[in-house]
């Protein structure tokens, strides 16, 4: 087997240090059901791939849940998949999030509208998308809010988010970011 040259070693190091340093924000209504799941799932997948990503979540409904832990059923379903979201704390989406994050995913179209209303002139359509557009491009499908549902609804939401997060890792995992 041929030996790896010094130039190849340098190239490999450059790939590892310069690629995949993304900052991604997941946004839902109260930041206690869908977006904490999305944060936890994507963070777990990125960590397993050795990606140095920063993943966070927020909510557009600034009047509720700030500082609260994720919904107990979101925590339960995540834990069943070896994803721990218990240390997360709900926070409000702000216009300044557009200055910090490379990509911002809304869980549904009403959330995207809420983001536009909050961000106003800072809203950047190039940085935003509906999460499920990662697996169903251009279909603008919503991740349903399981808040009023049963535990099974949280399992279904987890599966949707998991599939989309897998696609995000495949899509952006090795792209260079500025």
Active site residues: 28, 34, 145
The CA-based dihedral angle spanning residues 98, 167, 134, 26, taken in that order and rounded to the nearest 10 degrees: -30
User: How many Cβ atoms are within 10 Å of 141's Cβ, its own excluded?
Assistant: 16
CB 26 within 8 A of CB 105: yes
d(CA 35, CA 142): 13
d(CA 100, CA 55): 11
| Number of continuous H segments (helices) and E segments (strands) in the chain | 6, 4
Q: How many angstroms separate the CA atoms of 58 and 68, rounded?
A: 12
- Indicate left, alpha or beta for 158 from its phi (over 0: left) and psi (-120 to 50: alpha): alpha
């Amino acid at each position: 087997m041929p030996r790896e040259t010094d130039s190849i070693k340098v190239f490999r190091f450059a790939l590892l240090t310069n690629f995949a340093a993304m900052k991604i924000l997941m946004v839902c209504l109260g930041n206690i059901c869908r977006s904490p799941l999305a944060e936890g799932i994507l963070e777990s997948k990125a960590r397993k791939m050795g990606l140095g990503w920063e993943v966070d979540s927020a909510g557009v409904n600034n009047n509720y849940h700030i500082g609260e832990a994720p919904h107990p059923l979101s925590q339960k379903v995540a834990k069943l998949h070896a994803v721990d979201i218990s240390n997360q704390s709900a926070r409000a989406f702000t216009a300044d999030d557009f200055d910090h994050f490379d990509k911002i995913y809304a869980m549904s179209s009403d959330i995207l509208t809420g983001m536009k209303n909050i961000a106003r002139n800072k809203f950047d359509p190039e940085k935003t998308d509906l999460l499920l557009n990662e697996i169903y491009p251009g279909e603008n499908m919503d991740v349903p809010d399981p808040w009023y549902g049963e535990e099974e609804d949280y399992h279904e939401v987890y599966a949707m988010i998991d599939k989309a997060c897998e696609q995000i890792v495949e899509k952006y995992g090795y792209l260079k970011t500025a």
